[in-house]
Amino acid sequence: MTYTEYEAKFKVRDHGEIERALVKLGASLIDQVFEEDHYIDLYPCIDLKKRDEVLRIRITRNSSNRVSGELTYKGPKKFKDLKVRDEISIEIGDPFKLLDIFGRLGFKNRYVIRKQRKIYRLGTYKIFLDTVESLGRFVEIEVEGVKTASEFVSKIEKLKNIINISGVNIVKSYLELWLEERGKKYSGEKS
């Protein structure tokens, strides 16, 4: 099933104050996970970079040490100043075998982004406290049930104020930030 993902991301120095605010508001800790995102390059068949699309295999290890996998296609961003894009995801039983299949077909696993993530739920909000390897700490917020970008922005601003997050919404993905830090661009660059 395709759905449109509305997501806001903010770089933070520390998660402590935000986490205390979430707990005080009654947010529930859903899980603590380690995620490894493998971005697959389908070039020369399809130039996903040029099309602003992504194919990702996510390997997740949860707090019980259970490993799960997910294959996700992310379509192009719909707005310049908001991270809104269509997304299609499916669970995969053995993500390592899927990585092997892509590799044997000649499609290389180009980039790997690793992060520690705490996942909280507060009503229609899903809040992710991420520590991304070599990038730092971030808070990502998703809001379920929003139908428009303006409704999403309004709800994000409300939560931002309540849990004391400052700064501007980062529209770039962790992959784009990671590449930018290394002097590369994701969109349109062959490497």
49: helix, coil or strand?
helix
Question: Which of 3, 6, 39, 120 is an active site residue?
Answer: 39
- Give the CA-trace dihedral at 164, 170, 173, 175, to 10 degrees: -100
Q: Which of 66, 73, 76 is nearest to 90 (CA)?
A: 73
Annotated active-site residue 39? The verdict is: yes
Tokens standing for residue 114: 């690793």
- Half-sphere exposure for 189 (CA within 13 Å, toward CB): 10
Indicate which residues carry an active-site annotation: 39
